[in-house]
Amino acid sequence: MCAAHKGRLNIFPIGVVGVTAEGDFADARCFTSLDGASFARSGSSFTTLKLQNGWTQASGSARPGVRLIDGIVHFRGAINIGSSTALFTLPKAFRPDKAVYVPVDLCQAQNGRLVIQPGGQVQVQVGRLFSDAQCATSLDGASFAKSGTSFTPLTLKNGWTNTKYGTAHAAGRVISGIVHLRGAVATTGSSPVPFILPKALRPASSVYVPVDLCGARYGRLVIRPTGVVGVSAERSFSDAQCFTSLDGVVFAR
């Protein structure tokens, strides 16, 4: 939303779509980006996830599941109530080759993230209170690349580097007209521009997509048709400098 504030879409089976702001609804009225929003239309071909530590399917939501499409792992459903940050373990067919950090929506549109290890362990981390995750953790729209196969490495600039937290190197790929990014970056510098996308990965119009930052804080990428990519933080730019995950970033070319 406006000024990189967080919000969410609430999409109902009758087609009605509502928007909720984490803070003031004025943030949504000022600017609400639809770029990067995605969801599974049905549970067809999704593998049901075996929840752990008291986590259960949230009432009124889809059954938690996972599916692999063209090398991209997609989640659906929502969960709540759990007593631990450990949610479930992914079956081998869906495990990433590197550690993955993807943003997810929590109760009252608060921010959180999934941390997914190559061994399949999946944890939820929160930007505010663990009770936000216990109240509701949505898996809808969360996705990541299973491996770097067919991804083009991104050339980092302005002092930005790939992180050292077991994440993949920054890279991108186009699948059926949709650009997918992976990896994570960080910097000790002051420039908000970590890289310029190659021509094959550039959007036709400016794109605003959410990203996960240090401490499960919220940020966004602003991607221009020229390929210039800038990162903005909801709170402090130091959150982006510390850690900016590209996992789960998707947009239409």
Question: What is the predicted pLDDT for the residue at 142?
Answer: 98
Given a contact cutoff of 8 angstroms between Cβ atoms, the answer to whether 200 and 152 are in contact is: yes
The C-alpha atoms of residue 74 and residue 38 are separated, in whole angstroms, by: 10
- Distance between CA atoms of residues 215 and 126, nearest Å: 8
CATH class of 2-145: mainly beta
Instruction: Name the token pair of 194.
Output: 């970590």
**197-208, pLDDT tens digit by residue?**
999 999 999 999
Is the CB of residue 185 less than 8 Å from the CB of residue 172?
A: no
Task: Give the sign of the dihedral formed by CA 114, CA 123, CA 175, CA 10.
Answer: negative
The full DSSP string for 147-158 is: S-TTPEEP-B-T
Q: How far apart are CA 15 and CA 9, in angstroms?
A: 12
Q: Chunked in runs of 10, what are the mean pLDDT values of the chain (253 residues)?
A: 97 97 97 97 97 97 97 98 98 98 97 98 97 98 97 98 96 98 98 98 98 97 98 98 98 97
Helix (H) or strand (E) holding 242: helix 237-242
Report the distance separating Cα 123 and Cα 87, nearest Å: 6
The total of other beta-carbon atoms located within 10 Å of residue 83's CB is: 11
**In the chain, where are the structural domains located?**
2-145, 152-252
What does the chain come to in residues?
253
**The 160-162 sheet, strands edge to edge:** 160-162, 184-187, 244-245, 207-213, 218-223, 228-233, 195-196
pLDDT tens for residues 133-181? 999 999 999 999 999 999 999 999 999 999 989 999 999 999 999 999 9
Task: Give CATH for domain 152-252.
Answer: 2.60.40
Question: How many CA atoms lie less than 13 Å away from 230 in the CB half-sphere?
Answer: 14
pTM, 2 dp: 0.97
Encoded amino acid at 123, one letter: Q
